[in-house]
């Protein structure tokens, strides 16, 4: 289980293995409520999908939690710890935004237009009572989202020798540093629960 290294705001965890990253996702899900927006960012190979899978496990999602890259968004169904239905909308924002702006159009307007075109704009602005939005590569959209959210950033070592395979791709080796930044009072009131060893069991 990952251990917090800085029990302040933001709270930082070390995840030395994929299992530790998955367990952190479970612990985050234990504190999640309907209506939450969670933004997940980090470089390729950082472990975003592994963390998302842990969140899915914590929400009792029985469907596979995989990268939604080719569909942009996937809707998954599970349950909160109290047994009420939970809907996890897993979004990949990597391909949103583009660079072909209309005259006078800024990046936020472009993103909102694209979200509207795929039917996610209202869901992101006002998630349903049983819905959690989990957005990968979401940092580019922070200004367009609700002011109550949890920002998660994953850093991974890239300068250590033997962290690449023969093709030059990053491997799964190396401890990840996961920073949790609560934005708004809702997550600030819950974030410190993640430092408690039994937080995934509540």
Rounded to the nearest 10°, the torsion over CA 19, 25, 28, 32 is -150
Section 151-164 average pLDDT: 69
d(CA 123, CA 40): 17
Give which of 151, 141, 87 is closest to 114, Cα–Cα.
141
Section 75-91 average pLDDT: 91
pLDDT at 144: 64
d(CA 28, CA 53): 11
pLDDT at 101: 39
Q: Is the pTM of this model over 0.85?
A: no
Q: Return the percentage of the chain with pLDDT > 70, whole number.
A: 61
DSSP three-state, residue 25? helix
Q: How confident is the model at residue 198 (pLDDT cuts 50, 70, 90)?
A: low
DSSP of 139-152: GGGGGGS-SSEEEE
């Amino acid at each position: 289980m990952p251990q917090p290294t800085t029990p302040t705001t933001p709270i930082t965890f070390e995840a030395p293995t994929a299992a530790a990253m998955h367990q952190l996702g479970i612990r985050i899900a234990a504190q999640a409520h309907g209506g939450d927006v969670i933004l997940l960012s980090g470089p390729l190979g950082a472990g975003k999908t592994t963390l998302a899978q842990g969140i899915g496990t914590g929400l009792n999602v029985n469907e596979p939690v995989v990268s939604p890259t080719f569909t942009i968004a996937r809707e998954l169904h599970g349950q909160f710890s109290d047994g009420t239905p939970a809907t996890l909308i897993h979004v990949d924002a990597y391909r949103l935004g583009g660079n072909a702006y209309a005259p006078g159009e800024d990046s936020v307007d472009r993103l909102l237009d694209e979200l509207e075109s795929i039917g996610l704009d209202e869901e992101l602005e006002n998630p349903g009572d049983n819905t959690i939005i989990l957005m990968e590569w979401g940092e580019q959209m922070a200004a367009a989202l609700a002011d109550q959210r949890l920002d998660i950033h994953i850093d991974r070592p890239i300068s250590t020798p033997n962290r690449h395979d023969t093709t030059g791709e990053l491997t799964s080796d190396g401890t990840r540093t996961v920073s949790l930044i609560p934005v708004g009072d809702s997550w600030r009131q819950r974030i410190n629960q993640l430092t408690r060893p039994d937080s995934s069991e509540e």
